[in-house]
């Protein structure tokens, strides 16, 4: 093998002066492979980033699993379930469950001097994971919940918090700002019930169907509006450790529930959205296949030109005793070095572009169309490794055919080509 490596390192230079036509063609092959790797890595990183960003926003509003009452109910009206400490404990100990929190929703409308606007009040409890809303907060602060409000001087339990968080979409349409009072009416029974909320913050997720609908407030407000007891909530939200094991965890949680409770995954709650995200995987596969073919064609073309150009050298090596396998290894070593060079350059360029986009957000998007303001990037070392190995494997397999041509070159005929 040392002989083949020595020969491969001494002939077929990459310059016009000594490499003939194979020199610049080798450069073109390296550039083509590098560009192919850049396109493949960027495509996978961007599409994975897009999928992750959309999924995280949907989960932020609805969690991974939702446990609710099986009973049917009118639109925008939930049937309560009880806060059962024993049931909550069993769910919490299910493998894969990370956190449990409680919620309730109530449909209503906001009335201003100029408009009437339909909303959903999403009531959250103490201990609710508000990381999602905090990360998407654009103005003000998160609301306080009743359990975080001190008791009244008389020692009685304080009233539910009247602070709410609204989206920038609702704020813009109703011309509301942080600190404004917001008169809201809720239906239920024969007469509407009115509440005056104070806007303490404004959030923006760029997820239009949610931003247009939800305001976030205190769970106890919903309990009082629905006439529920303090031990009744609209449902449990369950967060899991691994999204890929969502269905498996959901099955385990369902086994712990009573017969009149149901569990719904975030995928079941938003089937069209997640079907669309899964469809993006087909685009990733198509891009990988096409660019792998481009890389393979580029290196095969370079190798064929090398073989044709070095036919006399091949004949001379065979005449001196080199076997067909040995000569093939010389060309495969040279081609492998070109492939490795192209892959390394492509990975370096792709990593640089991904980091720049992730930190500086250079490429912007129309938030209304794409549900995000910039192109998201998921920088995962496994993406770089798998794309690199896949490109290397595709190119090496493609090289087997032109390398086989070497065995058909006769030393006598090759040495007679030039005098």
Residues whose CB falls within 8 Å of the CB of residue 279, separated by 6 or more in sequence, listed in order: none
Residue 258 three-state SS: coil
Q: What stretch of H or E contains 330?
A: helix 324-360
Averages of pLDDT over each 10 residues, the chain, 419 residues:
65 52 73 90 91 86 87 65 90 92 91 89 88 91 69 55 93 93 83 89 89 92 88 91 91 90 89 84 84 84 73 67 71 82 93 93 82 87 92 84 66 55
How far apart (Å, rounded) are the C-alpha atoms in residues 105 and 78? 7
**Burial class for 225, CB neighbours closer than 10 Å (0-12, 13-18, 19+):** buried
> What pLDDT shows up at residue 6?
67
Nearest to 21 by CA among 306, 316, 256: 306
Q: Are the C-beta atoms of 49 and 378 separated by less than 8 Å?
A: yes
Instruction: Show the DSSP H helices in 15-115 as ranges.
Output: 16-19, 22-62, 85-92
> What pLDDT shows up at residue 409?
64
Nearest to 265 by CA among 121, 64, 74: 64
How far apart (Å, rounded) are the C-alpha atoms in residues 127 and 202? 21
Q: Tokens for 357?
A: 């986009």
How far apart (Å, rounded) are the C-alpha atoms in residues 367 and 169? 12
Residue 114 three-state SS: coil
How far apart (Å, rounded) are the C-alpha atoms in residues 226 and 271? 29
How far apart (Å, rounded) are the C-alpha atoms in residues 202 and 199? 8
Name the E strands within 234-363. 235-240, 261-265
Would the CA dihedral through 146, 150, 155, 158 be positive or negative?
negative
Q: What is the DSSP string of 119-184?
A: EEEEEE-TT---HHHHHTEEEE-PPP-GGGSPPPTTSSPPPPP-EEEEEHHHHHHHT--TT-EEEE
């Amino acid at each position: 093998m040392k002989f083949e490596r020595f020969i491969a390192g001494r002939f077929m230079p990459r310059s016009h002066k000594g490499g003939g036509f194979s020199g610049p063609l080798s450069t073109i092959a390296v550039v083509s492979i590098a560009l192919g790797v850049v396109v493949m890595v960027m495509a996978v990183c961007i599409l994975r980033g897009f999928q992750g960003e959309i999924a995280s926003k949907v989960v932020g509003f609805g969690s991974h699993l939702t446990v609710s009452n099986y009973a049917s109910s009118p639109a925008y009206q939930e049937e309560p379930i009880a806060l059962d400490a024993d049931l909550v404990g069993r769910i919490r100990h299910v493998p894969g469950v990370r956190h449990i929190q409680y919620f309730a929703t109530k449909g209503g409308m906001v009335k201003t001097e100029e408009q009437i606007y339909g909303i959903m009040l999403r009531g959250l409890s103490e201990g609710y994971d508000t990381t999602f809303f905090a990360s998407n907060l654009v103005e003000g602060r998160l609301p306080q919940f009743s359990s975080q409000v001190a008791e009244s001087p008389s020692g009685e339990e304080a009233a539910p918090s009247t602070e709410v968080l609204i989206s920038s979409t609702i704020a813009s349409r109703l011309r509301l700002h942080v600190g404004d009072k917001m008169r809201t009416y809720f239906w239920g029974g024969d007469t509407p019930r009115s509440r005056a909320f104070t806007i303490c913050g404004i959030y923006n997720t760029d997820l239009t169907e949610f931003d247009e609908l939800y305001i976030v407030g205190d769970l106890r407000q919903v309990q009082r509006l629905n006439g529920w007891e303090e031990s009744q909530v609209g449902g449990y939200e369950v967060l899991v450790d691994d999204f890929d094991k969502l269905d498996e965890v959901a099955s385990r949680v369902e086994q712990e529930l009573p017969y009149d409770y149901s569990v719904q995954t975030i995928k079941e709650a938003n089937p069209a959205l997640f079907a669309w995200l899964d469809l993006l995987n087909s685009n990733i596969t198509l891009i990988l296949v096409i660019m792998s073919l481009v890389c393979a064609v580029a290196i095969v073309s370079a190798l064929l030109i090398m073989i044709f150009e070095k036919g006399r050298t091949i004949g001379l090596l065979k005449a001196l005793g080199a076997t067909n396998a040995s000569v093939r290894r010389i060309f495969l070593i040279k081609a492998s070095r070109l492939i490795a060079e192209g892959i390394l350059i492509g990975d370096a360029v792709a990593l640089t572009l991904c980091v720049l986009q992730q930190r500086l957000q250079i490429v912007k998007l129309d938030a209304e169309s794409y549900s995000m303001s910039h192109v998201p990037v998921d920088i995962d070392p496994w993406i770089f490794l798998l794309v690199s190995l896949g490109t290397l494997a595709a190119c090496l397999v493609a090289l087997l055919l032109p390398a086989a041509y070497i065995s058909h070159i006769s030393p006598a005929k090759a040495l007679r080509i030039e005098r």
